[in-house]
Amino acid sequence: MGRLIPRVVVAAPASGAGKTTVAVGLMAALRRAGHTVAGFKVGPDYIDPGFHAVATGRPGRNLDPMLSGEERVAPLFQHGAAGADLAVVEGVMGLYDGALGTEGFSSTAHVAKLLRAPVVLVVDASAAGRSVGAVVQGFVAYDPEVRIVGVILNKVGSERHETEVRAGVAPTGVPVLGVLRRDARLTVPSRHLGLVPAPEQQAQAEQAVAAAAELVHQGVDLQSVVTAAHAAPHHNATPWNPTAAVLPKPVWGAPPPDLGGQPAPKRFGEDHLSIQGGRTPQTGLGRGGRPVVAVAGGPVFSFRYTETTELLEAAGAEVITFDPLTDQLPEATAGLYLGGGFPELHAEALSANTKLRDQVAAEISVGLPVIAECAGLLYLCRELDGHPMTGVLPATARMTSRLTLGYRTAVAATTTAFYDEGRRVRGHEFHRTTITPSTKELTPAWYLPAGAEGMTLPHVHASYLHVHWTATPDVPVRFVAAARSR
């Protein structure tokens, strides 16, 4: 059983109300007040947790019943809140908005109920007065199992406006915990997928977080928020443990295929990859005989779940993060993980690091196991918006105006070192790029309801799909096993 963790969920009636401002401001203001704060984000979003990390000084984490399974939400919360004395959970979209076609599955309300956590509702009052009270009353009545313990009024224009809105909320019996005015300092850079991730604009992110903390400190009754968080009841959840998660379980299926003893069936790219000639693989082990798994980071590859590296380490890897803009592969790299990010905005700079591009292509040609998600898929293509990439995959990538976004149920199209054919997973897509294969003789990574997606080699799995490995812990185990066998 996990310990009692004071906690509060920050939600809103709809997107754009100011959840991130309030959540980040609360995290930073409470940290300034001497609390050790754990920050969480409901749903698959990578960007907000980056700002949570700036605000709390701890890794940002996601709570997503769709990707991890609802049975893991409370254990992952307990794990992520270890060492903290208070947790702030930022919601997603409107309080009751969940996966399409469900009754609010993976919504903020769903997660709040799984955590038995009180909810603070952030309401954009910029275009209303007393009507805000009707909004609050409606949200309170919609689901009695969701405990809305307070309201924070955001974007209030004047004292007179505040008085009018407070008068509207008073009959609901829900206390107003704070009132926030507009503040231009809270503006952070935005782009085609939303806010710019904090690692890309660290100085601006820190300034925005500091401004949010000051705004919340001045406008919110922090002690009332802390009191509400301490009123959260105990819930029976054993903390998730990455070491326990990677212990062998028979239901995980077959071990990774032995690709060294028998020649692999010819697949797309086999002739292409052989252009490196007699290249000898970069073999070796890291400290303590652990295989080195290189994880792309820096401003380009800023999207990955915190548990990804924890699971790799638990499976026996030495994880070393490197920046593909400036670095080469770490010494003795035996596996490569390329996560998500915005390579389309750094294509020229990525392309300029020719030593790394050549090194990645050469290592893959002699069996380097690679998992690439979204940005990683683009980096493995021949080019991105006309800029040469690694050329591992026979495809070109380009930016488009069309946003692809949403949860996906995917089925592995073929057996690789990481997945068996027919394996079913849940993932998430979030991109505005597209790839165009230069050949029809390829093996996709997944079959989605809309068709085939991604590309594979026996030791490379590349696709747009982001998968939360807490639901598939055998994948990092197989990844590290493949790295160790090089």
Contact (CB, 8 A) for 407 and 427: yes
Q: What share of the chain is helix, strand, coil (3-state, %, to 5)?
A: 35, 25, 40
Contact (CB, 8 A) for 221 and 229: no
Our measurement of the distance from residue 240's CA atom to the centroid of its chain's CA atoms, rounded to an integer in Å, reads 17
Q: What is the DSSP string of 144-194?
A: TTS-EEEEEEEEE--HHHHHHHHHHHGGGT--EEEEEE--GGG---EETTE
Query: Which two structure tokens, joined as six digits, stand for 185?
Result: 């300092």
Q: CA 100 → CA 9, 91, 96, distances in Å?
A: 22, 17, 11
CA triple 249-254-255, angle to 5 deg: 85
Q: How far apart are CA 154 and CA 293, in angstroms?
A: 45
Q: How far apart are CA 323 and CA 84, in angstroms?
A: 30
Among candidate residues 211, 220, 228, 374, the one labeled active-site is 374
Q: Is the dihedral of CA 258, 356, 467, 411 positive or negative?
A: negative
3-state secondary structure of 402: strand
Contact (CB, 8 A) for 339 and 267: no
Bridge partners of 119? 9, 148
Q: Tell me, yes or no, if 374 is annotated catalytic.
A: yes
- The residue type found at 375 is A
Q: CA 163 → CA 170, 211, 266, distances in Å?
A: 11, 25, 73
Q: How far apart are CA 404 and CA 340, in angstroms?
A: 14
**Residues labelled as active-site residues:** 374
